[in-house]
Amino acid sequence: MAVSSAVLVLRALGIGDLLTAVPALRALRAAYPDDRLVLAAPEGLRDLVELIDAVDELLPTAGLGDLDWPGPPPKLAVNLHGSGPESLHDLLATDPAEVLTHQHPDFPDVPGLAWRDDLHEVDRWCRLAECAHGEADRSALRLPVPPGPSPAPDAVVVHPGAAFPARRWPPERFASVIAALAAAGHRVVLTGSPGERDLALAIAGRAGLGEDAVLAGRTGLAELAALVAGAALVVCGDTGVGHLATAFGTPSVLLFGPTPPRLWGPPPSARQHVVLWAGNVGDPHGEEPDGGLLLLGKERVLAATRSALEMRVVHG
């Protein structure tokens, strides 16, 4: 059996998932400097993947069950996807010479790390990557500025949506904060997916902004990345946009609800990010706004945005 000199890494998830795996990808690159590192991830993330110096090639993979490895068996298959059996099954189907994964009872003959729920997402995958005889720098989250121009340079970027209602701060509170920032002379733009455009339009209208302030549904990933990289400040919940702010070093105010920031937040050493969390832990996939998230009042969030903007002026 011919084995290719490729390291295949599975991480077929979203923006935040990709960005929290960057330090692990860099550790794998360092451990296998002479091999081709292929990342199996959604095609829609290509513009971000191309900014990651550790990745040689993107293998478009929409999700679990969609991995289609085209060549000889890879030298190493790395499961950066999750703890379930489906991701390990997908990788084993490529017949790799070696597998790097967490343990799963469905595959008792495949060695791996024990899964831990108490780890930060960055640390989880760095620990796994370190099993490849390398050392992972958990702070290596930064990406270069995207090549394209920002659609709204130096604006305050507000991203009111989130994947699940449990992580969405109330629209009327976002509107109050936006109105106050606009009254103070800041340009504010709202981002979101095409499905979140109506939400963004409603918030903008309530805040007294025109439709031109709503970029939701009008930016691809490359433009969104350039927008965040060139922003004065990002205000959002526990979302991929928050991880973009971390990746580009853009100041942010992050509203955490059901998930503790110690599991998904920016590094504590990155002082330009202000994390607000009431201390409650809940279901991040819930169908109602999390009770802890609702404890974050609009005055507290507005004060955090003002403080972040003032720090940016002072420190540049």
Mapping DSSP onto H, E and C, the string for 130-177 reads HHHCCCCCCCCCCCCCCCCCCCCCCCEEEECCCCCHHHCCCHHHHHHH
Domain boundary among 131, 146, 179: 131
Task: Give the pTM.
Answer: 0.95
167 and 43 belong to one structural domain: no
184 and 308 belong to one structural domain: yes
Positive or negative: CA dihedral 284, 290, 294, 298: positive
16 and 70 belong to one structural domain: yes
Residue 139 lies in a domain: no
pLDDT at 310: 86
* CA angle (80 as vertex; 74, 81 as ends), nearest 5: 110
Q: Mind listing the pLDDT tens digit for each residue in 222-264?
A: 999 999 999 999 999 999 999 999 999 999 999 999 999 999 9
pLDDT at 13: 98
Q: How many domains does the chain have?
A: 2
For position 107, which CATH number holds? 3.40.50.2000
Q: Mind listing the pLDDT tens digit for each residue in 30-72?
A: 999 999 999 999 999 999 999 999 999 999 999 999 999 998 9
Residues of the chain scoring pLDDT < 50: 314-316
Residue 47 lies in a domain: yes
161 and 302 belong to one structural domain: yes
- Helix axis angle for 171-183 and 197-207, nearest 10°, is 50
Domain boundary among 131, 146, 172: 131
- Domain interval for residue 164: 156-314
